[in-house]
Structure 1
Amino acid sequence: MHSSKPLLPPFNPVSLRRLGGLVCVTLCLVLAACGFKMKGVSPLPFTTIYTNIAENSAFGANIRRAIIASSPQTRFVSEPAEAQARLIELANNQSLRELSLDAQGRVEEYELNLEFIFQLTDAKGHVILPPTTLRSTRELPYDDSVVQAKQGEITTVFQQMQQSMVDRVVRRLASPDVAEAFENAQSLAADDTPADATPLPPPQTSPARTPWASPHVDPRAGMR
């Protein structure tokens, strides 16, 4: 009587690992050829940067962390003269307004607005990135029976909007056109605004009517 032979070759874990590694390498090469870049490190074209955004504000601290995380070789300096690039905050406005009222005149929905205006120059004042305005708007339902909870929710939403704004700023700084402009800065116009200029204060507007003290949060102080 003949003994039956296995139809499949014996399992070889070493060969399987090699095959898996080959598949991963091939996939990476295909993605690279398609221009795919994993989110993470995006080196900036300069290694030192100065900003007039207050370091002791939540927004300023997040900007610094995000830039260093995206471009580890870039470091912040405290003096404009020591920096290859200068990130200048021109305005940072945060506001809250009534969006809709019910039949009794009570607020049903608020609109949260965030606006950040900035520019980027090199050490000689050449404008690498002209004044750029980024805006963010969120709508938030309101219930006056849970005032404290809604006030906390507004604060949380503003924090999320600020973090999203930080991400947008970093992506803008890491864009190819900024790198190209920095490399050809000598051909660009120069800006005469002092690098350490204090950002313009928010415009004076009437605050939205709310059941609590003014919900407006000073953007330069960051979210508390």
Structure 2
Amino acid sequence: MHSTSPTLPYTASVRRRLRGLAGLALCMLLAACGFHLKGAAQLPFTTLYTNVPQNSEFGSNLRRAITASSPDTRIVEDVTQAQVRLTQLSSVESLRELSLDAQGRVEEYELNLEFVFQVTDSKGHVVLPPTTLRSTRELPYDDTAVQAKQGEINTVFKRMQQLLIDRIVRHLASPDVRQAYAQSQDLPPADASEAADAPPPAAIPQPPTPWGSPRVGPGLY
């Protein structure tokens, strides 16, 4: 009678080696495809100013995301101390009726976010021209649970804002911005017309919603 026990450790060892080789091959394949794990993306500048209010949830989360992605980049409150300026040109948060039932009651809402911004350097050169980011979500509505649906709408808006912040940070770290900022360092100050500050964003009134419908929560401001 032959014992098979001596081959068990060998089999397990072979399997471990095969799994290791497979993992190594997968890593090499991902690297060849240009895949990178999500992590810090150091920005080409070390000081940044933004007119997005710091005391707003959106503003504080934006600042936190920038410093988390690029630890060497510092957010300054004095625009004259900043290498670049991220200017919010407009910001709109709204919802609209998407569908009604036979009784004319809202069955579904469409949630919308729109954020327009640009990036300029300290000499007034445009590093990133006015860029519009939009986000839209559809959400079922039940007028028998207004309070619960209002909370759900606010939660979805917060998630949409966070995704929008991630997109802003990716724009700041993009090759185009890096190249434009590097090239601007060798240029003289921009003309007064080019370097003029963007006008402050005007408050855009939210469209009225039907009686009993959920209210839009606090906006990006």
Q: Into which bin does the TM-score normalised by the smaller protein fall?
A: 0.7 to 0.9
Aligned-pair distance for 1:131? 0.4
What is the aligned partner in structure 1 of residue 111 from structure 2?
A: 112
The total of aligned residue pairs comes to 216
Preserved contact between residue 207 and residue 216 of structure 1 (Cα < 8 Å): no
Residue identity (%)? 57
Preserved contact between residue 68 and residue 75 of structure 1 (Cα < 8 Å): yes
The reply to whether residue 217 of structure 1 matches residue 217 of structure 2 is: yes
Q: Secondary structure at the match of 1:92?
A: strand
What is the aligned partner in structure 2 of residue 192 from structure 1?
A: 195
CA RMSD in angstroms, aligned pairs only: 3.1
Aligned-pair distance for 1:36? 2.0
> Take 2:162 and 2:211, find their aligned partners in 1: how far apart are those partners?
25
> Take 1:149 and 1:164, find their aligned partners in 2: how far apart are those partners?
23
> Take 1:17 and 1:43, find their aligned partners in 2: how far apart are those partners?
37
Matches within 5 A, 1:1-224: 8=7, 28=27, 31-185=30-184, 186=186, 191-194=194-197, 198-202=200-204, 204=205, 206-211=207-212, 215-221=215-221
> Take 2:71 and 2:156, find their aligned partners in 1: how far apart are those partners?
29
Residues 83 and 23 of structure 1: is their aligned pair in 2 closer, same or farther, counting only changes over 3 Å?
farther
**TM-score, normalized by length of structure 2?**
0.83
Residues 47 and 17 of structure 1: is their aligned pair in 2 closer, same or farther, counting only changes over 3 Å?
farther
> Take 1:97 and 1:10, find their aligned partners in 2: how far apart are those partners?
65
Preserved contact between residue 113 and residue 138 of structure 1 (Cα < 8 Å): yes
Residues 69 and 24 of structure 1: is their aligned pair in 2 closer, same or farther, counting only changes over 3 Å?
farther
Q: Secondary structure at the match of 2:99?
A: strand
> Take 2:20 and 2:102, find their aligned partners in 1: how far apart are those partners?
65
Aligned-pair distance for 1:29? 5.3
Residues 17 and 78 of structure 1: is their aligned pair in 2 closer, same or farther, counting only changes over 3 Å?
farther
Q: Secondary structure at the match of 1:132?
A: strand
Unaligned runs of 5+ in 1: none
Q: Secondary structure at the match of 2:145?
A: helix
Larger relative contact order, structure 1 or 2 (CA cutoff 8 Å, min sep 6): 1
Q: Secondary structure at the match of 1:59?
A: helix
Preserved contact between residue 77 and residue 83 of structure 1 (Cα < 8 Å): yes
> Take 1:157 and 1:9, find their aligned partners in 2: how far apart are those partners?
53
- Name which of structure 1's ranges 171-180 and 28-37 shifts more when overlaid on structure 2: 28-37
> Take 1:46 and 1:194, find their aligned partners in 2: how far apart are those partners?
20
